[in-house]
């Protein structure tokens, strides 16, 4: 009977040790989970900031494209108002003489 009690005591001590290890391991896992959740939250915040910056850049790009289109329309309107020349006459004017020959 004394031997049975000693065996039972040994098994209870083993169970206590196993339970303590399990509890410690569980605490470590919970701490790791908390760190992972915090990192996930930080990543979500960073992603939201990047999305905001991306949207702002897209808006700037679209505004610049609209300005470029508007400038192109204005430039085309100005070019249409300029007097047209015969291409041969224009080239002669570039040479600097009425006949197109340099002196």
Q: What are the pLDDT digits (tens) for 14-47?
A: 999 999 999 999 999 999 999 999 999 999 999 9
Is residue 33 a part of any domain in this protein? yes
Does a structural domain hold residue 18? yes
CB 54 within 8 A of CB 46: no
CB 103 within 8 A of CB 97: yes
Task: Give the pLDDT of residue 53.
Answer: 98
Query: How far, in Å, CA of 67 to CA of 77, rounded?
Result: 15
The residue with greater pLDDT, 86 or 59, is 59
Residues of the chain with pLDDT > 90: what percent?
72
Integer Cα distance of 78 and 21 in angstroms: 84
Residue 79 CA to its chain's centroid (Å): 41
Instruction: Say if 57 falls within a structural domain.
Output: yes
**What pLDDT, on the 0 to 100 scale, is given for residue 2?**
81
User: 């679209």: which residue's tokens?
Assistant: 62
Domain count, the chain: 1
Answer yes or no: is 76 within a domain.
Answer: yes
SS3 53: helix
Tokens read off for 32 = 């790791």
Mean pLDDT of 62-84: 94
Q: Does any domain span residue 85? A: no
Residue 42 within a domain: yes
Higher-pLDDT residue of 85 and 3 is 3
By residue range, what is the domain housing residue 1? 1-80
Residue 88 lies in a domain: no
Are the CB atoms for 75 and 69 separated by under 8 Å? no
């Amino acid at each position: 009977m004394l031997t049975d009690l000693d065996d039972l005591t040994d098994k209870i001590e083993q169970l206590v040790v196993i339970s303590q290890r399990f509890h410690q391991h569980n605490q470590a896992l919970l701490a790791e989970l908390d760190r992972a959740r915090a990192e996930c939250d930080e990543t979500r915040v960073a992603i939201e900031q990047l999305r905001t910056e991306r949207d702002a850049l897209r808006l700037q790009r679209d505004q610049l494209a609209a300005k470029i289109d508007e400038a192109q329309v204005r430039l085309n309107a100005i070019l249409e108002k300029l007097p047209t020349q015969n291409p041969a006459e224009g080239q002669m004017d570039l040479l600097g003489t009425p006949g197109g020959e340099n002196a």
